[in-house]
Amino acid sequence: LTEDQRKNITAIPGLQRRALEEIIAVRGAISKELRKFLSGGQADKPAVVALGRRYGELDGEMSYYYAMAFAKVNRTLTDEQRAALKKLRNLDGYTSAPAYLYSQPLQTLPNIQNTDFFFAAPGSAQIAPSSISPPAPHAQSGFLLMSPDVADGGTLPKEFTGDGASATLPLEWSGVPVGTKSFAIIMHHMDPEGKTKWYWTLYNIPADVRSLPKNVNGTGTLGNNSVNGRIEYAPPHSKGPGTKTYVYTVYALSAPVKLDVPPSQVNRDVLLAAMKDIILSSATMSVVYTRFPTPDEKRNLEGKPPQPTGDQTIKEKPSP
């Protein structure tokens, strides 16, 4: 594209920003209203419908900006540009991954229960029982983990990482199984080499707790983390390139966790071993985060010296 054509395309996010920010607020308001059903309450139908209507208007506005920009560029394309674009659009020989998490290909898919029976007529033999996959171990239908600040599969806000305020993410859970006596939470990540890192271990959360606020304090017992080994939350702060996936898991337990070691020695493996026989159910929520190295970190990764700052200067060796 020419410079003018390129500017038309790269300007789209700026045009959409206001609508997108309002969409985030609208989605949050809709979710908050609908979650009333989870606690046995009643959602405000007119409010939900009105919010949904506004969501549609904003989505239409964003589509308009896309169409306007691309149409404007299309009117100015030369024959050579059209030929080049057509060549770029050729997908011969391209094979898609089974699924994608945003732009990251997923080669291994989770075992998802067959839900076709939901749509069969009452009493119908349309779906044979043998075709329904068994649920994963410790998984119980209805036990859900969520956060008011990020959806499952969404991007972890910077505030909850080492690039921001290093705050713990607020969490909520529902559909707790009968007989639950305590909860435990683990946040972990598996690196490209298959090694598991853990950032948050919290156990012996009282059975009547259904949510944790941001920067929770005084609820449950903290274990250590694999980043610095301390008894604290270690926010994601990876210097490696690419998008990372972090998994939050809440465990509903039939008894409080009993350990023979102090909290400073309670890592992810120790906690999982202690819970092994008392897990009634578990629920997970995954988030992604992409960290971009600072200029100095980037230079360090490239094996270059730090960039001089302030009144620092690089002095040349005096000539003989």
DSSP codes, 157-168: PGGGSTTTT-PP
- Per mean pLDDT, which of 44-53, 75-84, 99-108 is the most reliable? 75-84
pLDDT at residue 90 in the model = 77
Choice among 102-111, 148-157, 304-313 with the minimum mean pLDDT: 304-313
As a whole number of angstroms, the distance between CA 141 and CA 233 comes to 29
pLDDT at residue 184 in the model = 96
As a whole number of angstroms, the distance between CA 52 and CA 27 comes to 8
pLDDT at residue 116 in the model = 65
pLDDT at residue 193 in the model = 72
Task: Specify the 3-state DSSP secondary structure of 202.
Answer: strand
- Count of all residues that appear for the chain in the document: 320
Residue ranges of alpha helices (H) inside the chain are 3-10, 12-34, 45-74, 79-88, 268-275, 295-301
What pLDDT, in 10s, does the model give residues 226-267? 988 999 999 988 766 678 889 999 999 999 999 989 999 999
What pLDDT, in 10s, does the model give residues 175-188? 898 899 999 999 99
Q: What average pLDDT is seen over the chain?
A: 82
Backbone dihedral angles phi then psi of residue 253, each to the nearest 5 degrees? -115, 150
pLDDT at residue 117 in the model = 61
Under a CB-based contact definition with an 8 Å cutoff, are residues 25 and 160 in contact?
no
pTM over cut 0.75: no
As a whole number of angstroms, the distance between CA 93 and CA 108 comes to 22
Average pLDDT over residues 43-66: 90
DSSP state of 318: P
Torsion of CA 85, 86, 88, 92, to 10 degrees: 170
pLDDT at residue 316 in the model = 46
142 closest CA partner among 283, 308, 315: 283
pLDDT at residue 314 in the model = 44
Share of residues in the chain with pLDDT > 70 (%): 79
Comparing 305 with 220, the larger pLDDT belongs to 220
pLDDT at residue 308 in the model = 62
Mention every residue, 6+ apart, whose C-beta is less than 8 A from residue 226. Answer: 196, 197, 198, 199, 234, 267, 268
Please count the CA atoms within 13 angstroms of the CA of 122 that sit on its side-chain side.
Answer: 0
H helix or E strand, kind and range, residue 144: strand 144-146
pLDDT at residue 125 in the model = 45
For residue 291, name the pLDDT band (cuts at 50, 70, 90).
confident
Average pLDDT over residues 200-222: 94
Under a CB-based contact definition with an 8 Å cutoff, are residues 27 and 55 in contact?
yes
pLDDT at residue 124 in the model = 47
As a whole number of angstroms, the distance between CA 277 and CA 17 comes to 49
User: What are the angstrom distances between the C-alpha of 68 and each of 11, 16, 127, 215, 278?
Assistant: 11, 12, 48, 44, 58
| Sequential DSSP letters for 81-111 | HHHHHHHHT--TT----SEEETTEEESS---
Inform me whether the pLDDT recorded for 26 exceeds 50.
Answer: yes
Comparing 148 with 39, the larger pLDDT belongs to 148
Under a CB-based contact definition with an 8 Å cutoff, are residues 78 and 100 in contact?
no
Instruction: Report residue 6 as tokens.
Output: 């390129």
As a whole number of angstroms, the distance between CA 235 and CA 238 comes to 9
For residue 163, name the pLDDT band (cuts at 50, 70, 90).
confident
Inform me whether the pLDDT recorded for 114 exceeds 80.
Answer: no
Comparing 306 with 273, the larger pLDDT belongs to 273
Backbone dihedral angles phi then psi of residue 19, each to the nearest 5 degrees? -65, -40
